């Protein structure tokens, strides 16, 4: 996935000579400009001179219209040159605008309006040349027409894919503590807290609720560069919301486009466009529990070069005991165009983090002491405190219980990503892209009774060709691509020993190995009529997992022993898809899709048994799914709405769960399962032109996921029983999720940019176990926000943004994260243990209590 195709706004521009006096600029809202620097069609570029007099300045005037020819009030118009923003205004009730004091030269005119795509035109003011007009076409969000030179890139916004874009207007006014503040505005997406206050687990259609860390079953990109490693693991630690202009979420099985692990789609985080930044922005946020974030953004667009650079230093004491964190992030996107035929793109991300970790709580403990107060010393702990049991000597024999602080549980992780992409236009119809990403992860993680240490470097190579053409007189797009990636792993696991600061004891396991994928993908898109488009594609991939796990045990009365498990698994997977898109009118779009996907086990899954210890689990096979998606998009001047339904059949679904305290999570294949759901989103200006700044955004998700075939075998002592789980709901799935934001931003006059919103979140209860005996409670949260986004400044200071936000206004205790639990038998009766036993098993983190944030961002 990459940038969205460019849409064009109908702008009639008239440039005439005038005195060097400026109209009072109006502060507009920002809107995402999520595309590479614009390549405007010849009709959109013209010499627009001043009148034939001696004045060096000119007046730029025009009108902004929609596709039906209606005037658009309160559209935001910005004129820029290579030095940055020159002037801003908004359109009047009749859609007209005027900017004075524009000197000779070449300018970019940006026109934006909520619910419409940001668009651009180039003008040139030249003295002594008769006035010419520039006219292009307006398109509302969801009607996607491209004027990009070269072939469209079908994996950026594929035809028929169920997709939601979260734009800058949703991101820019919130505190930016974590991506959890904005990503749920895509339906089908739910979030959980990971290992640390800012670590967020993102789930698309429930695909990632089976684990307690990392992102799985979705492919994650930044500016089109892979940030999912070849073993299928991505993380949000390197994500700072302040850096992004948009987030695209493609939902549904998508291996035909994105390869291995795209079980439920892909997410592309898009950094801000350099022209949107237009210089330097410096920000400082403060919040409850010692939170602080100092960040800087630099954007420059001029000539053949563009660069967007972002850096942040974030820290805090955490809202739960022993959850202080310190994180530094650098993120750079640079573009160089040596010619009209070639473009080089460079990506760099570096993230270093030091979060302390608390211990996951049982439901009983969470109800007693959700934020682990008074838990500094295990021996004198308050009620409801969790502890970790470690060997007193770090090797074997008696165990002692330690608090998280006594044990020094934490993470020290570093992630560095370097990517480069070459885009070459053979002609106006054919584009060739080649992209290489180097990605290395270095971890030290004493997170419980054991500590993981290791380095995993990886490479990811993509190359594809896209060509526009015709077939039988109908427009067609051909796409073919090749991919190869490789990851080497060399990790060790140690016992955590008393002594604090994550002291390690005896070595318990080593894992060395390699993961590699080689694949191809092909796709054809055919425009059957002016309103009907069909496409078909296929992905083919060969995966090899090779590795060795050596487990070490230390009996108290015998010599240490080793257990070696070797794995060499090769899998070939195929994923076809077909789509049909019908656009009966300009405001309605219908789409239907049959897609498929696959995801191979991770190498580490092969070496943990159902008992939660190192051993042989190499019988695991890839999971696969086939799904039907249908959707309707409706887009009018003041409303954008989308609904989608899906039904998916899974084979050998990979499900992970915890077998108990101080044990490793293990993974198994559920032979058959069924996932179905409904997703809806809306973006509405209820009062239209009367109050264009009033805006309601909603996102709703319903999911139902059940085992269709799965028999679970449980053992305890001399007892063994088999339980048929067919018909049971799969753990971790909240049936209903809803988020809504009602906000108002003043768009004109002296208080332009002043606004605020109220936000409401609801999440249903979710089962924690395969027997459906115990649920993680649901919750409702309310947040309020007041902000000022000033863009009317001149000179050195170009903008000021101020916010004040209260999250969880009601100060409710809620479950921020809950991992799946294993069912068990009583060793005395041989019967399945009930909910009371499960309620004593640790799997939960509490979400944040009432928190206050404030921040200021200034642009120079």
pLDDT (average), residues 441-458: 94
CB 628 within 8 A of CB 646: yes
Residue 43 has pLDDT above 60, yes or no: no
Euclidean distance between CA atoms 377 and 371, whole angstroms: 15
Q: Which structural domain, as residue segments, surrounds residue 16?
A: 10-125
Which of the four pLDDT bands, split at 50, 70 and 90, describes residue 36?
Answer: very low
Candidate from 189-193, 355-359, 722-726, 749-753 with smallest mean pLDDT: 749-753
What tens digit of pLDDT does each residue of 295-315 get?
Answer: 999 999 888 899 999 999 999
Q: State the pLDDT at residue 24.
A: 27
113's tokens = 């309006």
Which of the four pLDDT bands, split at 50, 70 and 90, describes residue 663?
Answer: confident
Residue 157 lies in a domain: no
Q: State the pLDDT at residue 58.
A: 65
**Counting beta carbons within 10 angstroms of the beta carbon of residue 518, is it exposed (0 to 12), middle (13 to 18) or buried (19 or more)?**
middle
**Counting beta carbons within 10 angstroms of the beta carbon of residue 576, is it exposed (0 to 12), middle (13 to 18) or buried (19 or more)?**
middle
Q: State the pLDDT at residue 150.
A: 55
Q: Which residue's entry shows tokens 């350099």?
A: 274
pLDDT (average), residues 23-35: 31
Residue 101 has pLDDT above 80, yes or no: no
CATH label of the domain that carries residue 344: 2.40.170.20
End position of a domain, from candidates 247, 269, 291: 269
Q: Which residue's entry shows tokens 């899906």?
A: 646
Candidate from 1-10, 125-134, 339-348, 758-767 with smallest mean pLDDT: 1-10
Please indicate, yes or no, whether residues 830 and 705 belong to a single structural domain of this protein: yes
User: What mean pLDDT value characterizes the chain?
Assistant: 85
Please indicate, yes or no, whether residues 305 and 252 belong to a single structural domain of this protein: no
Euclidean distance between CA atoms 104 and 126, whole angstroms: 5
What tens digit of pLDDT does each residue of 382-397 get?
Answer: 999 999 999 999 999 9
Euclidean distance between CA atoms 261 and 266, whole angstroms: 9
Euclidean distance between CA atoms 726 and 709, whole angstroms: 5
pLDDT (average), residues 126-151: 45
**Residue 228's closest CA among 267, 179, 255?**
267
End position of a domain, from candidates 241, 269, 297: 269
Q: State the pLDDT at residue 14.
A: 46
Residue 398 lies in a domain: yes
Q: State the pLDDT at residue 71.
A: 66
End position of a domain, from candidates 234, 269, 304: 269
**Residue 371's closest CA among 814, 857, 680?**
814
Please indicate, yes or no, whether residues 486 and 442 belong to a single structural domain of this protein: yes
Q: State the pLDDT at residue 846.
A: 94
What are the residues facing 26 on neighbouring strands? none
Please indicate, yes or no, whether residues 68 and 90 belong to a single structural domain of this protein: yes
Residue 681 has pLDDT above 70, yes or no: yes
The residues, any chain, with a CB within 8 Å of residue 473's CB and separated by 6 or more, are: none
What tens digit of pLDDT does each residue of 541-573 get?
Answer: 999 999 999 999 999 988 999 999 999 999 999
Euclidean distance between CA atoms 123 and 102, whole angstroms: 11
Q: State the pLDDT at residue 50.
A: 39
- CB crowding 323-336: b at 16 or more within 10 Å, else e: bbbebebbbbbbbe
Residue 56 has pLDDT above 70, yes or no: no
DSSP character at residue 382: P
SS3 430: strand
Residue 34 has pLDDT above 70, yes or no: no
Give the per-residue SS3 of 553-584. Answer: ECCCCCCCEEEEEEEEEEEEEEEEEEEEEECC
Please indicate, yes or no, whether residues 305 and 258 belong to a single structural domain of this protein: no
Q: State the pLDDT at residue 152.
A: 60
Helix, strand, coil distribution of the chain in percent, nearest 5: 5, 55, 40
More confident position, 79 or 132: 79
8's tokens = 């064009």
Please indicate, yes or no, whether residues 215 and 199 belong to a single structural domain of this protein: yes
DSSP characters for 122-153?
Answer: EEEE-TTS----B-----BTT------SS---
The residues, any chain, with a CB within 8 Å of residue 782's CB and separated by 6 or more, are: 758, 759, 760, 761, 808, 809, 810
Please indicate, yes or no, whether residues 97 and 226 belong to a single structural domain of this protein: no
Q: Which helix (H) or strand (E) holds 626?
A: strand 623-635
Q: State the pLDDT at residue 70.
A: 59
Residue 119 has pLDDT above 80, yes or no: no
- CB crowding 433-446: b at 16 or more within 10 Å, else e: bbbbbebbbebbbb
What tens digit of pLDDT does each residue of 587-627 get?
Answer: 899 999 999 999 999 998 999 888 878 889 999 999 999 99
pLDDT (average), residues 430-435: 94
Q: Which residue's entry shows tokens 């934006």?
A: 112
Q: State the pLDDT at residue 792.
A: 64
The residues, any chain, with a CB within 8 Å of residue 668's CB and separated by 6 or more, are: 610, 620, 654, 655
Which of the four pLDDT bands, split at 50, 70 and 90, describes residue 805?
Answer: very high
How many CB atoms lie under 10 A from the CB of residue 639? 17
DSSP character at residue 234: B
Residue 154 lies in a domain: no
Residue 493 has pLDDT above 90, yes or no: yes
| Dihedral sign (CA 203, 209, 210, 214) | positive
Please indicate, yes or no, whether residues 614 and 554 belong to a single structural domain of this protein: yes
How many CB atoms lie under 10 A from the CB of residue 104? 15
Share of the chain above pLDDT 90, in %: 63
Which of the four pLDDT bands, split at 50, 70 and 90, describes residue 692?
Answer: confident
pLDDT (average), residues 526-554: 94
Specify the pairing of strand 399-402 against strand 200-204: unpaired
CA-angle at 232, arms to 226 and 235, nearest 5° = 70
- How many residues can be counted in the chain? 860
DSSP character at residue 587: S
Residue 498 has pLDDT above 70, yes or no: yes
Q: State the pLDDT at residue 849.
A: 96
The residues, any chain, with a CB within 8 Å of residue 296's CB and separated by 6 or more, are: 280, 281, 282, 283, 310, 311, 312
CB 288 within 8 A of CB 852: yes
Please indicate, yes or no, whether residues 438 and 478 belong to a single structural domain of this protein: yes
Euclidean distance between CA atoms 266 and 264, whole angstroms: 7
pLDDT (average), residues 476-503: 94
Residue 2 has pLDDT above 50, yes or no: no
Residue 31 has pLDDT above 70, yes or no: no
Q: Which residue's entry shows tokens 């230093």?
A: 313
Residue 35 has pLDDT above 60, yes or no: no
- CB crowding 584-600: b at 16 or more within 10 Å, else e: eeebebbbebbbbbbbb
652's tokens = 């050998």
CATH label of the domain that carries residue 61: 2.60.40.10
**Residue 439's closest CA among 421, 422, 414, 463?**
414
Candidate from 2-11, 605-614, 820-829, 838-847 with smallest mean pLDDT: 2-11
CB 512 within 8 A of CB 490: yes
More confident position, 60 or 500: 500
Which of the four pLDDT bands, split at 50, 70 and 90, describes residue 666?
Answer: confident
Please indicate, yes or no, whether residues 717 and 727 belong to a single structural domain of this protein: yes
Domain count, the chain: 3
Q: State the pLDDT at residue 653.
A: 92
Residue 644 lies in a domain: yes
Q: State the pLDDT at residue 598.
A: 97
Residue 138 lies in a domain: no
Candidate from 153-162, 236-245, 701-710 with smallest mean pLDDT: 153-162
DSSP characters for 637-685?
Answer: SSEEEEEEEEEEEEEEEEEEEB-STTS--EEEEEEEEEEEEEEEEEEE-
233's tokens = 């693991």
Residue 140 lies in a domain: no
CATH label of the domain that carries residue 183: 2.170.130.10
Residue 16 has pLDDT above 90, yes or no: no
Which of the four pLDDT bands, split at 50, 70 and 90, describes residue 41?
Answer: very low
Euclidean distance between CA atoms 212 and 731, whole angstroms: 13
Residue 42 has pLDDT above 90, yes or no: no
Q: State the pLDDT at residue 104.
A: 73
Please indicate, yes or no, whether residues 243 and 384 belong to a single structural domain of this protein: no
**Residue 143's closest CA among 92, 254, 68?**
68
Please indicate, yes or no, whether residues 211 and 283 belong to a single structural domain of this protein: no
Q: What is the CA radius of gyration of the chain?
A: 28
């Amino acid at each position: 996935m990459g940038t969205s195709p460019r849409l064009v706004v109908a702008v009639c521009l008239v440039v005439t000579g005038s005195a060097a006096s400026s109209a009072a600029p109006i502060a507009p809202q920002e809107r995402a400009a999520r595309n590479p620097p614009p390549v405007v069609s010849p009709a959109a570029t013209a010499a627009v001179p001043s009148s034939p007099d001696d004045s060096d300045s000119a007046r730029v005037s025009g009108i902004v219209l929609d596709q039906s020819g209606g005037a658009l009030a309160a559209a935001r118009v910005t004129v820029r040159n290579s030095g940055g923003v020159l002037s801003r205004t908004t359109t009047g009730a009749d859609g007209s605008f005027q900017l004075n004091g524009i000197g000779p030269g070449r300018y970019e005119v940006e026109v934006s309006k909520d619910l419409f795509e940001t668009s651009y035109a180039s003008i040139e003011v030249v003295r002594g040349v008769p006035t010419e007009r520039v006219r292009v076409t307006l398109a509302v969000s969801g009607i996607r027409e491209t004027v990009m030179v070269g072939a469209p890139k079908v994996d950026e916004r594929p035809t028929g894919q169920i997709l939601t874009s979260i734009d800058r207007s949703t991101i820019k006014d919130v505190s930016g503590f974590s991506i959890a503040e904005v990503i749920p505005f895509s339906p089908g997406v739910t979030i959980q807290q990971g290992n640390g206050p800012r670590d967020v687990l993102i789930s698309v259609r429930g695909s990632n609720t089976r684990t307690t860390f990392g992102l799985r079953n979705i492919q994650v990109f930044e500016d089109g560069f892979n940030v999912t490693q070849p073993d299928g693991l991505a993380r949000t630690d390197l994500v700072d919301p302040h850096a992004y202009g948009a987030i695209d979420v493609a939902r549904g099985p998508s291996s035909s486009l994105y390869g291995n692990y795209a079980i439920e789609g892909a997410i592309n985080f898009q950094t801000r466009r350099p022209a949107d930044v237009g210089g330097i922005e410096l920000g400082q946020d403060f919040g409850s529990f010692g939170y602080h974030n100092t960040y800087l953004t630099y954007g420059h667009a001029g000539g053949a070069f563009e660069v967007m650079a972002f850096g942040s230093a974030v820290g805090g004491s955490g809202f739960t005991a022993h959850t202080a964190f310190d994180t530094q992030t650098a993120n750079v996107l640079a573009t160089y165009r040596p010619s009209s035929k070639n473009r080089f793109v460079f990506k760099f991300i570096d993230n270093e983090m030091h979060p302390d970790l608390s211990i996951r709580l049982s439901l009983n403990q969470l109800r007693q002491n959700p934020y682990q107060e008074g838990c500094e010393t295990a021996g004198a702990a308050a009620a409801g405190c969790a502890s970790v049991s470690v060997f007193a000597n770090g090797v074997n024999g008696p165990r002692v219980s330690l608090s998280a602080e006594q044990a020094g549980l934490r993470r020290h992780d570093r992630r560095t990503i370097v990517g480069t992409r070459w885009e070459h236009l053979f002609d106006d119809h054919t584009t060739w892209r080649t992209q290489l990403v180097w990605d290395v992860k270095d971890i030290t993680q004493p997170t419980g009774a054991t500590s993981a240490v290791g380095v995993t470097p990886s490479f990811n190579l993509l190359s594809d060709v896209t060509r526009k053409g015709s077939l039988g007189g109908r427009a067609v797009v051909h796409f073919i691509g090749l991919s190869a990636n490789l990851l080497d792993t060399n990790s060790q696991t140690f016992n955590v020993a008393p002594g604090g600061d994550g002291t390690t004891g005896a070595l318990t396991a080593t894992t060395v190995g390699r993961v590699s994928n080689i694949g191809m993908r092909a796709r054809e898109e055919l425009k059957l009529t002016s309103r009907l488009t069909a496409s078909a594609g296929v992905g083919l991939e060969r995966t090899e997992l090779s590795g060795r796990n050596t487990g070490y045990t230390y009996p108290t009365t015998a010599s240490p022993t080793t257990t070696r498990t070797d794995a060499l698994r090769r899998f070939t997977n195929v994923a076809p898809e077909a789509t049909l898109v019908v656009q009966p009118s300009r405001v309605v779009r219908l789409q239907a899709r049959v897609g498929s996907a696959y995801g191979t086990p991770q190498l580490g899954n092969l070496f943990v048994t159902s008992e939660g210890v190192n051993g042989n689990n190499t019988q695991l096979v890839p999971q696969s799914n086939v799904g039907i998606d249908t959707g309707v998009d409706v887009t009018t001047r003041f409303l954008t709405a989308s609904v989608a339904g899906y039904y998916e059949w899974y084979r050998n679904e990979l499900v992970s769960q915890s077998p108990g305290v101080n044990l490793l999570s293990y993974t198994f294949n559920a032979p058959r399962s069924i996932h179905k759901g409904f997703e809806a989103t809306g973006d509405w200006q209820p009062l239209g032109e009367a109050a264009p700044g009033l805006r309601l955004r909603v996102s709703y998700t319903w999911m139902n996921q059940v085992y269709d075939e799965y028999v679970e075998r449980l053992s305890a002592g001399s007892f063994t029983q088999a339980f048929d789980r067919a018909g049971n709901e799969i753990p971790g799935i909240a049936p209903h999720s809803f988020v809504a934001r009602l906000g108002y931003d003043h768009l004109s006059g002296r208080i332009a940019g002043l606004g605020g919103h109220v936000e409401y979140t609801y999440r249903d209860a979710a089962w924690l176990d395969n027997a459906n005996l115990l649920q993680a409670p649901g919750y409702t949260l309310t947040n309020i926000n007041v902000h000022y986004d000033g863009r009317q400044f001149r000179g050195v200071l170009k903008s000021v943004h101020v916010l004040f936000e209260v999250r969880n206004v009601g100060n409710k205790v809620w479950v921020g994260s809950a991992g799946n639990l294993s069912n068990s038998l009583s060793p005395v009766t041989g019967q399945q243990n009930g909910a009371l036993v499960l309620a004593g098993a640790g799997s939960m983190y509490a979400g944040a209590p009432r928190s206050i944030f404030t921040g200021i961002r200034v642009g120079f």
